[in-house]
Copies of this chain bind each other. A is one copy, B any other.
């Protein structure tokens, strides 16, 4: 891919690196503005590139996908759907046939270990905060969660991409978001200082049932 910034002569050495760093900053600034104003679905790489005064191919070259650009702009230390897909994919390969019956416990354990990383926890809480305080923030987070996390969750759990599958995935999201809120925002004790193992044992079966068990008529795929 040949991606050259318009209006900048290619240079070598530290000057060139500083130029690239400024260009990345301009792209991320434009991305934060567009995602905030237009939501995750409405913002386009083309529009963000135009605001930053660069070629869309350069944005693709630097960030690869809209979700990665979003993660960089929001300073997320991981790309959420890639975390879900890679960790759960590795467990699926390891456990084989047992994977599907243990996905709830594995998912909660994965979330808790991710939140143990301070940067990930800070980013997660920042997104919750922006959703709780601004109408733009809530649209952005809703669309981001729906387009990336819910979609990768239905795929990795082998759910149909229909209303019933997405209903199951949003039930999981409700318990996961609530766990994060109760443990890290409200710090409700004794849940806040419970071990990862205890919480995976308590909450894993909830997620398991939401994904694969009986949740009433609305969970039956047509």
Contact = CB atoms under 8 A, between A and B. Distances in A.
Interface stretch (A14-22, A111-119, A124-132): A124-132
A78 interface: no
Copies of this chain present in the complex amount to 2
Contacts of A198: 216-218
Interface in A165-222: 166-167, 170-171, 173-179, 181-183, 185-192, 194-195, 198, 201-203, 205-206, 209-210, 215-219
A75 to B, nearest CB: 18
A190 B170 contact: yes
A73 interface: no
Interface centre among A131, A142, A179, A206 (most CB of B within 10 A): A206
Interface string A139-181: 0011001100010000000000001001100110111111101
Contacts of A174: 175, 178-179, 181-183, 188, 191, 203
Interface residues of A, number: 49
Contacts of A206: 175, 206, 209
Contacts of A189: 146, 166, 170
A161 to B, nearest CB: 12
Given A173-B182, A178-B181, A179-B174, A188 B150 contact: yes
A72 interface: no
Contacts of A215: 201-202
B178 A176 contact: yes
17 contacts: A128-B132, A132-B133, A132-B185, A146-B188, A146-B189, A166-B190, A170-B182, A170-B192, A173-B182, A173-B186, A174-B191, A176-B178, A177-B181, A178-B179, A198-B217, A202-B216, A202-B219
Given A166-B190, A177-B181, 6 more contacts: A170-B182, A175-B206, A177-B178, A178-B182, A198-B218, A201-B217
